Structure 1
Amino acid sequence: MSWSVSTQPLSHDVSSDGAEWSTGICDCCQDMKQCCFAFWCCPCFACKTTREFGQCLCLPLLDICSCAHPATMSVRLAIRQRYGIRGSLCCDCVHSTFCTACVWCQISTEMKKRTLPTVFSDVFSLG
């Protein structure tokens, strides 16, 4: 008998009425460790979060060249689409421009809350 570890796939179903963010944009202080990391070193936190999302580690560094933060806005939009969260491109733009660290905390928290736990299962070899 051998053990294997598998992760349940995430559901990408978008509900017809749309879901809400699990935390508000200003709820970043609920996790003080995460909040401090995002506040004091937002580029590092953004790169770590983007990597966990499955995108290029350096993607958030594009935000340094612009005041509109296109990478932050695109990751926020992608998270909304993945989890069927209601919102608008206008809100994504405003939040990404004026509340960058809070947006990255919200994205990170959403990914943590929506990720299914790892499941251990038995694998029996036949033969």
Structure 2
Amino acid sequence: MSHQPTIKEGEWQDGLCGCCSGGHFWMGCCCPCILVNKTHELLENPSNPSPSGCGMWGCAWCGLNFCGGWGWILECLQRGEVRSKHRIEGSGCTDCLVACCCPCCGVIQSHKEVEKRRDAMQGGVPDKMGYQGQAPMRA
């Protein structure tokens, strides 16, 4: 019997300083552009079992950072999208502060959020926010 993740309504599933748990720490610190792209793909298609680390959002994040350190803008927008889609409390101001002051932790937190919500959805059991995955097909 598998353990179904519990989704807390209106809040992040992991705190900002919870970036060390969950297996994304090194990727978030060394190649955050990969997590930025994976997060984008999960926002676009929440049931995607293996989102790609290579894509436009990751490249845009790298390009913006290379050309003056402006990647925080994309990260801020993405955090806002995660909050909006999953009805998480917060504001654009806190998104900007996180993106500017703790970019790696923010990227990891956003990715873990969409990943946990995908995992809850794939169980076929609705979470508290009403997301429900399809039941598995039977042969």
TM-score, normalization by structure 2: 0.65
Q: Which moved more, 1:48-57 or 1:19-28?
A: 48-57
Partner of 2:110: 107
5+ long unaligned stretches in structure 2: 1-8, 46-53, 124-134
Alignment of 1:28-67 (within 5 A): 28-31=19-22, 33-54=23-44, 57-60=55-58, 61-62=60-61, 63-64=64-65, 65-67=67-69
Structure with the higher fraction of residues in strand conformation = 1
User: Aligned equivalents of 1:66 and 1:52: distance in 2?
Assistant: 28
Question: Aligned partner of 1:95: which letter?
Answer: V
Aligned pairs, number: 105
Query: What is the identity percentage for the equivalent residue pairs of Structure 1 and Structure 2?
Result: 24
Runs of 4+ in 1 over 4 A off after TM superposition: none
Higher gyration radius (CA): 1
User: Aligned equivalents of 1:94 and 1:77: distance in 2?
Assistant: 12
For the residue of structure 2 that corresponds to 1:120, the secondary structure is coil
TM-score, normalization by structure 1: 0.70
Partner of 1:15: none
Q: Relative CO higher for 1 or 2, CA cutoff 8 Å, sep ≥ 6?
A: 1
Alignment of 1:70-85 (within 5 A): 70-85=73-88
> Does 1:21 find its partner at 2:36?
no
